[in-house]
Structure 1
Amino acid sequence: MIFFRKRSWLILILGIGGIFTYTQCTDTQAQETAMPDVIDYNYHIRPIFSDRCFKCHGPDANKRKAGLRLDTPEGAYAAFKDNPSMHAIVPGHPESSDAFQRLITKDTSLLMPTPSSHLTVSQHEIDLIEKWIKQGAVYKPHWAFIKPVKAALPDADEDWVRNPIDYFVFAKMAEKSLKPSPEASKEQLLKRVCLDLTGLPPTLDMQDSFMKDDSPQAYEKIVNELLGSKHYGEKMSIQWLDLARYADSHGYQDDGLRTMWPWRDWVIHAFNSNYSYAKFVTWQLAGDLLPRPTKEMLLATGFNRNHKITQEGGVIDEEYRVEYVNDRTNTFSKSFLALTFECARCHDHKYDPISQKDYYSTYAFFNQVPEKGLFGTIDASFADPPNMTITTKDVQSILKFIHKKDTASVDVMVMADSSKRRPTYVLSRGNYDMPGPEVGVGIPTSILPYSTSKYGQNRLGLARWLIDPQNPLTSRVFVNRMWAQFFGRGIVKTVGDFGMQGELPTHPELLDWLAVDFQSHGWNIKRLVKQIVMSATYQQASTVTSSAQQVDPENIYLSRMSRIRIPAEQIRDQVLASAGILNQEIGGPSVKTYQPKGLWEVATSGRGSLMNYIQDHNQDLYRRGMYVFIKRTVPPPTMLIFDASNRDQCEVQRGRTNTPLQALVMMNDPHVLESSRVLASQFSREKGSIDEKLTRAFRRIVCRAPNEKELAMLKKYYEAEQTSCVQNPKKVQKLMKIGEYKQDKAAVTGSTAAMMLTIQLIYNMEEAIMRV
């Protein structure tokens, strides 16, 4: 029996069949409270209007009905053209506000939203709107477009707080009648911070050392050690690879080979070297436009070239070139601004103040690349231009972080602008062959006005605009994404949407405090990460009390630590590392590990080097999950089952699912079985009782000592399997041949096979792949 728990979802899997039971509470249910004394437009009214009204009465002029605009005060207060005595909203007078009267009318021909829309407004929401109008119907700019300011720290329990984060969290808990959880046990805390900062479980030596260290600085010493680890950059890079849509193939039907892994090596290097976020962003957006750019700066711009590229003959060149520019534009807006610019490609945005002209003005920054929609052959030995060549000499000098395994040169795609500026046009309905008015470079003024004289007219100017201290989004978006990485949920839940359809921040003052603090301390990423993991909020136990479950089932207010299943790549890492067979080399080309036969063959176009799957061998089989080869049309199946991105497009946050397939992977994946075999073989050569060996196995995988009941159950299972294996030598032979890792012939015994199956059972415990 295997239990997989995820937030408020529970899935129980028995054997290979599935029985599903689940419950989930919505955020609205959790957050709806009594009527506030002061109604705030951003936090109480705009979400209602955006969800129910703006589709017909919002920014999109082409879809606006009755000429009524409710997203601006000028539109809402204006007299109706056909009846100057009437107004949608009259500040102070809901009885004279036609928009409000249409919310409460019993006449279905006048009722808004219309019955045919299947949208409704609750009585609580009607009461909020009525009180807001009575209080003056004051509009405000969207909260995310207001420059963040550093609020004073609220009152808090001085004995609990450890840094400024905790003041804000404690105040919100107190507001909701919640109390902090006790501190997590040392074992839990060590596993948590190791998985969060390096993606690897703590070794037995680390566990022993930490448990013996009773000094007040014990935890901080571990944090500093992990931040200095070469594996820190690997862990931090995984999320960035999702954002940058990194893959090892081009995508589309032919899906030929692509070589961009040196750019991945640079990302790891940048995180390990603690490049400031300002530098990290600027180099990726415009490293080629900096004065006297180095090869490292050029390599960083590969971020912009990770999009899909077609290699299929017969396509219309310009159509696909336009698609690539659209991809770069959309990736920029999602990655750095958390806004859905793509909604304005064909028409004005229906909810956010982003016009179609704004979209193509942003598009113009990325429209200067001298590229083609179709270039080269499916197995071209060189990258599509613009590109750069990385030689052995480069790797020995300025690009020492690149893990190039042979002396052959490597070509990667980078950015460059044409010497002659390409004009940019608004494309009618987003069609490449329907150009409209010409536009220059720009950004929606609602965020921060773009001045070409101040910033410039190219991508470097865009990068300067992005890190301008007056920009209200850049630092907010990044600190929120970091928060989500450590707590499983952002302060703004919709990590990729800070627009009007996105969620409101649960702790707005904390978000703004972190954003300003991050900027004012040089955009220092490691400092931000250390702030988060050193907080009392992060160090809480994850145990759920019945009272907290009732008040806050999704842990919005952080009165406990979240329980999160580790990402797909880390599940592989956890298994290999705990068995002691993980290949810990950093960077280099991607590897092809175990995979069911025939997957590529049934999905391929039938040509090119990726037509057939050719598995790697030896140490390449045991590299970290982030180095597993990603073919876009056929991504690694095991990782997809655990919600990894297929890297088709920019993905700011992975989904989280629970399916019976995940249990089947843990029970049958060759790497899990192989790791169990290798670890069991190691124990067969070591001295000690079965209890001692089971305890060591448990500690290596679960990262804590088993209690008496757990140990007794494991020993009972081991003894039953030992009896079965002794009676069935063929079963032993079959089990001990799983995987390519060198077999210890002396360990091919019934006892070792029984230990292997017991270790596999431990891997299948919920806690083995959870960060608690």
Structure 2
Amino acid sequence: MHLGGESGPAIVPGEPEESLLYSAITHEDFVMPPKRKLSQKIINDFKTWIEMGAPDPRVNEVAKVNSTITAKDIQQAKESFWAYQKPQYTPPHKVERTDWPRTTIDRYILAKLEQAELTPSDDAEPYKILRRLTFDLIGLPPTPEQLAYFESAWKKDPDKAVEYVVDRLLSMDQFGERWGRHWLDVARYAESTGREVNMTYPQAWRYRDYVIDSFNADKPYNRFVQEQLAGDLLPAKSDEEWTENLVATAFLAIGSKNVNEENGSQFAADVVDEQIDVTSQVFLGMSVSCARCHDHKFDAIPQTDYYALAGIFKNMKTYFGRPQSEYGEFISTVQERQLSTLLVMPVEDPNPFDTSYSPAQLQRLKEAMDAKLEQLNAQRRRAAGERSIATQRQTIVLLRQASALSSQLATVDEKGQPVSFCMGVQETENPANARLLVRGEIDQPGELVKRGFPQVLTDNPVHINSEKSGRLELARWIGSDENPLTARVMVNRIWQHLIGHGIVRSTENFGVTGEMPTHPELLDYLAIQFVESGWSVKSLIREITTSRVYRMQSTYNEKNHEYDPDNTLVWRANPRRLDAEAIRDAMLSISGKLDLERPRASIVAEAGHTRVQDGQFDSGRPPEQQDSAGEKRGMNGMRGPGRGMFGRGGMSGQSNGTDRSPFDMESAQFRSVYLPVVRDALPRSMTVFDFPDASTITGTRDDSNTPNQALYMMNNPFVVQQGESFARRLAESNSQPVKQVEQAFLLAFGRTPTSSERSAMTKFLQNQPSRGSSSLDAMCQTLFGAAEFRLID
């Protein structure tokens, strides 16, 4: 009953509509009993029993778990632990150096430094400040023209020079690309399921673009939160707004999934667990998922709080898979046991790689589908009597081919025109509470737990309408100033990206085991300012970047370092290595090859819903499948040589119709945020520089310094190619070696060379013999390989 057979479990406890037994007795998919339908009373009894968790009175007893965390413990945590109390404004202490601060932020920082008898560092050089600003705000290096303007403006008025540049950078489209990528890190954005059977998410790119557009529009952060958790439940004034809200809920759908899981109940429980985990860590800085199996070991979160949230999330359906035609349910493959459909968007915005079909082509596809199903049924009959490995393999091949045909049919309407799909979630009917699972085991159901929020964060019990899931209420509560953590967590992340480390260094853990804030009064001040600004991310960034703290130099001070070696008091700037995207984008920008136009969709959208295996997309198309001209079709309907977002020839010269590597992106010249993020098959340019694991919530990336990075900068074809383009740019602008060296340093480092650097490089250009590439090529690649290129000082 629970383990099931080839079709999966007969019953999904608590989910009648998901249970095969219930669909059979209601004569929806299967017809059982075959000749007559059971009475409605009996059907209602079955429904009630399944909603109860389908207990077996012979072997099951509803377990009652006694919590070790009492109401008194929760109240004590509310009263004693800083993170569970609402932000309070505390004015900064008076400072002696009244001429140093420019903003309130400076006064908080300076007050702490003076208490420790430390002095803040002086201002950095203007070119270093501009380089910080451009990389921090848009992820690109400054141009020589921008450097010249800024240094001139700095001499007149440093404060106004910084303010002007900050406002200009915040208004650029590249701002959203830079800060959207920061959000995608914590949202564990990826374009495939990962795990043992790694299936693609061809519509994930819509969420990526939604995030970028939201940061560019400076969408209020509380609205941003609510859209991602309950956009499908928010009121919308137009189909366009409704579509945006639906796409936003892909936040809950893009997580890693084990689609090979045989047990549907286990799969559903794991999906809910992943959604609770990402919601609690990303928005609240808490790991509520630790209470899935038992009371939280450290924080005041009893196991019942986890299942109170589980009751909210289990009452929605997650759409993450493939468009499904009328044939879809009959052709689930052995590898992809847990199927899911997609949401149809209210507006027409099809995947650019989708194909339309004429009536004749559509008819041929349907005939091919029917023929394939006949083959499949005959093969299944043979397999029932002949259980050989060869027979099983042939069945799997036919299943995959039928699945591909079914997906093709599902991507178009009855007229053969592409349908617009997105990932996301939708509310289910007749919401019910979740049962506590003893030790988190699905076969050990316990008591029903009333839907609600973590008690330690709420002053009063939450009332949730019994006819609603409570997800909209949860989204509004998280995205409100009544929540003590939401604003703090986001403010802390923004501070980290601009200053180098968070006020709370454990960015996803504001609990008892996390780091304490180094400047609690400053954190609360920023959180309050954030809310009062209308939850404006750009306003907060403007306030931090125009502070005196932001423009300090990183110079070593022996006394300060001895007292505060980790720079927790922020007595100097933190030198930082550029992340993977900024390194790649900077090389493209300096070489003159960067294309700032947003590419449409993604190579994963081009490949369609397919499996990623050994770094390759597996189309799974039957060899006899052809279009109207009789030519074989490539991935997702592309004809002839590769076309689309990669221009002529597709990727790196690979022809269409063959398996493609999702990380072979050396011909792409768009920004790195648009590179495919396929779990377990990331681009080399990303992994070597600590791109995060897309299956995890990453608020703070690793920052390593490895031999592989040096080898990459020396030998990778992309780096070599950008060095050659950089050299051509220099040669076209000036033929004099001295001028070429000066221009190269300005582009690569944001400064002019020293006299010794100028002399050495000029001598190199004049004396280096050609060995397959020019000395100018070698010099340019050398600059890319320098530590100064990869660091923000």
Which category describes the TM-score, using the shorter chain as reference length? 0.7 to 0.9
User: Aligned pair in 2 of structure 1 residues 409, 176: CA closer, same or farther (>3 Å)?
Assistant: farther
For residue 787 of structure 2, what is the aligned residue in structure 1?
766
For residue 765 of structure 2, what is the aligned residue in structure 1?
718
Shift of 1:340: 1.4
Give per-residue Cα distances to partners, 1:713-743, cap 9 Å, x unaligned. Answer: 32344345x22x1xx4xx23xxxxxxxxxxx
For residue 119 of structure 1, what is the aligned residue in structure 2?
none
For residue 555 of structure 1, what is the aligned residue in structure 2?
567
Distance in 2, Cα, partners of 1:647 & 1:449: 35
8 Å CA contact 1:591–1:621 kept in 2: the answer is no
8 Å CA contact 2:79–2:85 kept in 1: the answer is no
Distance in 2, Cα, partners of 1:641 & 1:458: 43
Alignment of 1:242-641 (within 5 A): 242-259=185-202, 260-292=204-236, 294-312=242-260, 315-371=262-318, 384-385=340-341, 387-389=343-345, 392=348, 409-449=419-459, 451-453=461-463, 457-586=469-598, 588-591=600-603, 602=614, 608=620, 612-614=659-661, 621-641=668-688
8 Å CA contact 1:345–1:359 kept in 2: the answer is yes
Length-normalised TM-score, structure 1: 0.73
For residue 201 of structure 1, what is the aligned residue in structure 2?
141
Shift of 1:685: 2.7
For residue 409 of structure 2, what is the aligned residue in structure 1?
none
8 Å CA contact 1:563–1:770 kept in 2: the answer is yes
8 Å CA contact 1:673–1:760 kept in 2: the answer is yes
Unpaired runs of at least 5, structure 2: 1-64, 323-327, 353-416, 605-610, 621-634, 637-657
Instruction: Give SS of 2:552's match.
Output: coil
8 Å CA contact 1:540–1:560 kept in 2: the answer is yes
Q: Percent identity, please.
A: 31
2:118 is matched with which residue: 178, 192, 207?
Answer: 178
Shift of 1:451: 4.1
Distance in 1, Cα, partners of 2:274 & 2:665: 38
For residue 191 of structure 1, what is the aligned residue in structure 2?
131
Shift of 1:247: 1.0
Distance in 1, Cα, partners of 2:732 & 2:140: 25
Indicate yes or no: 2:645 matched with 1:689.
Answer: no
Give per-residue Cα distances to partners, 1:338-394, cap 9 Å, x unaligned. Answer: 1111211111001000111101111222111234898766899xx943513375569
Give per-residue Cα distances to partners, 1:504-559, cap 9 Å, x unaligned. Answer: 11001101111111112211111001011011000111122222222222211111
Q: Which amino acid aligns with 1:297?
A: N
User: Aligned pair in 2 of structure 1 residues 285, 500: CA closer, same or farther (>3 Å)?
Assistant: same
8 Å CA contact 1:443–1:449 kept in 2: the answer is no
For residue 150 of structure 1, what is the aligned residue in structure 2?
89
Distance in 2, Cα, partners of 1:446 & 1:169: 31
Shift of 1:61: 7.5
Unpaired runs of at least 5, structure 1: 1-59, 76-138, 397-406, 593-598, 733-752
User: Aligned pair in 2 of structure 1 residues 371, 280: CA closer, same or farther (>3 Å)?
Assistant: closer
Distance in 2, Cα, partners of 1:342 & 1:497: 12
Instruction: Give SS of 1:416's match.
Output: strand
Distance in 1, Cα, partners of 2:297 & 2:581: 37
8 Å CA contact 1:243–1:651 kept in 2: the answer is yes
For residue 238 of structure 1, what is the aligned residue in structure 2?
181
1:211 is matched with which residue: 141, 151, 164?
Answer: 151
Q: Which amino acid aligns with 1:768?
A: F
8 Å CA contact 2:714–2:785 kept in 1: the answer is yes
8 Å CA contact 2:127–2:751 kept in 1: the answer is yes
Instruction: Give SS of 1:622's match.
Output: coil
8 Å CA contact 2:504–2:510 kept in 1: the answer is yes
8 Å CA contact 2:617–2:660 kept in 1: the answer is no
8 Å CA contact 1:262–1:588 kept in 2: the answer is no
8 Å CA contact 2:83–2:484 kept in 1: the answer is yes
Distance in 1, Cα, partners of 2:300 & 2:730: 63
Shift of 1:433: 2.8
User: Aligned pair in 2 of structure 1 residues 409, 675: CA closer, same or farther (>3 Å)?
Assistant: farther
User: Aligned pair in 2 of structure 1 residues 658, 71: CA closer, same or farther (>3 Å)?
Assistant: farther
Higher alpha-carbon deviation: 367-376 or 647-656: 367-376
Shift of 1:645: 1.3
Distance in 2, Cα, partners of 1:532 & 1:372: 39
Distance in 2, Cα, partners of 1:471 & 1:604: 45
Distance in 1, Cα, partners of 2:578 & 2:591: 18
Length-normalised TM-score, structure 2: 0.71
Indicate yes or no: 2:592 matched with 1:653.
Answer: no
Distance in 2, Cα, partners of 1:617 & 1:666: 17
